[in-house]
């Protein structure tokens, strides 16, 4: 009985949010190949915690939070590697999945990679996940003022980066 309800909840959450969380991960991560891993892990963590499953209305918030956290640790792990790489990403011509290839070429994605982590997180949560500034602040553990500041500086930096690309 319990198993049944939780599976239903899992399926329901999956249908409602999985894809958008993939997008969230794709925007947060440098490594598009890890998106699915990150989202899978977030789903597993959130759904394996019974306490959390008991509050279905909070599931999305938990999932987003977990994706952000996991993306962050994945990012951290890559900092060293990225510093060693030359600035322009090597053209990922080798055929991966088309969608991820396309993502790699996306001007916005390229520009986002140049942002500070916080700026990027704020912009993604605010404008992709459509959170309010207060929700972003809560998710990232920042003050609303910091969210505003990261957001406006992030947009400015993004504009510069994208105009440079064009």
Partner 1 sequence: MSTNRPGEPGPDGHEQGQHGGNDAVNGPWNTPSEPRSEDSAADGRGSFDADGPGDLGAAAGLDADEQALRAMMHGAVREIRPSDASLERLRHAVPARRARKRQAVVGLAAAALLVGTAVPTLLHVTNSPGSSDDHPSAVGHTSQVPGDSGHTDGGKQGHDKESPSGKDGPKDKDRDKGKDSGGKGDETGGGATAGADPTGSEMAPAATCGAGQLGNAVGTVGEPAADGKVYGSFKVSNVSGSDCTVAGGGSVTFEVQGAAQRGRVAMTEVAAGNSAVGLPVAPAAGTVRLAPGEAYEVHFAWVPSESCPTEGSSPDPDPTDGGTGGGGDEPGVEPQLVPGEGSADGSVALSHTAEPGAPTAAATIPDACAGTVYRTGVMAAS
Decide: is 60 part of the binding site for partner 1 (CB under 8 A): yes
Taking the alpha carbons of 149, 152, 157, 160 in that order, is the dihedral positive or negative? negative
Give the sign of the dihedral formed by CA 56, CA 34, CA 138, CA 145.
negative
| Token pair belonging to 148 | 């505003």
Interface residue with partner 1 among 52, 69, 72, 78 (CB under 8 A) is 78
Choosing from 128, 138, 144, 146, the residue that interacts with partner 1 (CB under 8 A) is: 128
Q: Shortest distance, CB of residue 65 to partner 1, whole angstroms?
A: 12
- DSSP string across 36-90: HHHHHHHHHHHHH-HHHHT-GGGHHHHHHHHHHHHHHHHHHHHHHHHHHS-SSPP
Binding site for partner 1 (CB under 8 A): 3, 6-7, 10-11, 14-20, 22-23, 26-27, 30-31, 33-37, 40-41, 43-45, 47-48, 50, 57, 60-61, 74, 77-78, 80-82, 84-85, 94, 96, 98-100, 102-103, 106-109, 123-124, 127-132, 135, 155, 158-159, 162-163, 166
């Amino acid at each position: 009985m319990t198993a049944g309800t939780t599976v239903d909840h899992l399926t329901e959450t999956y249908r409602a949010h999985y894809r958008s969380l993939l997008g969230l991960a794709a925007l947060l991560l440098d490594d598009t190949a890890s998106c699915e891993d990150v989202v899978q892990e977030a789903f597993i963590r959130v759904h394996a915690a019974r306490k959390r499953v008991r509050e279905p209305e909070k599931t999305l918030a938990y999932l987003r939070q977990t994706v952000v956290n996991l993306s962050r640790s994945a990012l951290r792990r890559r900092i060293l590697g990225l510093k060693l790489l030359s600035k322009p990403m090597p053209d990922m011509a080798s055929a991966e999945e088309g969608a991820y290839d396309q993502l790699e070429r996306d001007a916005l994605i390229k520009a986002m990679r140049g942002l500070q982590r916080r700026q990027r997180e704020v912009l993604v949560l605010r404008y992709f996940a459509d959170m309010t500034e207060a929700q972003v602040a809560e998710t990232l553990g920042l003050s609303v003022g910091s969210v505003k500041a990261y957001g406006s500086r992030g947009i400015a930096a993004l504009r510069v980066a994208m105009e440079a690309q064009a």
